[in-house]
Amino acid sequence: MHTDQTAPGGHAMPPLLRFLVSVLPVVLVAVSASLVTQPSIPGWYAGLQKPGFTPPNWAFPVAWTLLYAMMAYALWRILSLPKHRPGRSAAIAAFFVQLALNGLWSFAFFGARSPLAGLVVIAALIVAIGAAIRAFWKLDRTAALLLVPYLAWVAYAALLNGTIWRMNG
């Protein structure tokens, strides 16, 4: 389903710009989320009651690094398609909506120190990731499949977030 459309006449985004548009926003969200999260880990987060299925703290940056890389590559594949391909703009918009919600979750849960606000954001994030996967599927199934582990991790994180809220509410 996916072919490289960078040949003359393909009118795809130039390779360097495609790389920057797919990587920089993802890195910006990752870094900003980390900056708001890190100060809350040793005090506030450490003091919360957490369920037995909570992963160790070191697992989060490992998982997120892999997921963010897969997200950026998925977007890069969509940006490789011709600009006027039906559904491309909507797929890109869906990606950026979910990316914004991804960043917002860290500000809600860790920045505001509110598991309830985090739960509200993560519910919207799950819907947005699903929409991005559906939009990507119509254009490039590999790009869509690259987002499936992300959806699975966020669903797990939602369960964790909800349980933390319940245990500490």
63, part of any domain: yes
Q: Is 131 exposed, middle or buried (0-12, 13-18, 19+ CB in 10 A)?
A: middle
78, part of any domain: yes
10, part of any domain: no
The CATH number of residue 99's host domain is 1.20.1260.100
pLDDT tens-digit profile of 15-38? 899 999 999 999 999 999 999 999
Indicate whether this model's pTM tops 0.75.
yes
9, part of any domain: no
Residue 52 confidence (pLDDT): 97
7, part of any domain: no
Name the residue range of residue 112's domain.
15-48+59-168
Q: How many domains does the chain have?
A: 1
Q: Does pLDDT of 4 surpass 90?
A: no
pLDDT tens-digit profile of 43-102? 999 999 999 999 999 999 999 999 999 999 999 999 999 999 999 999 999 999 999 999
87, part of any domain: yes
**In sequence order, which residues have a C-beta less than 8 Å from that of residue 96 and are 6 or more positions away?**
25
131, part of any domain: yes
99, part of any domain: yes
Q: Does pLDDT of 8 surpass 60?
A: no
9-16 CB contacts, 8 Å cutoff, 24+ apart: 10/82, 11/82, 11/83, 11/84, 12/79, 12/80, 12/81, 12/82, 12/83, 13/79, 13/80, 13/83
| pLDDT band of 11, cuts 50, 70, 90 | low
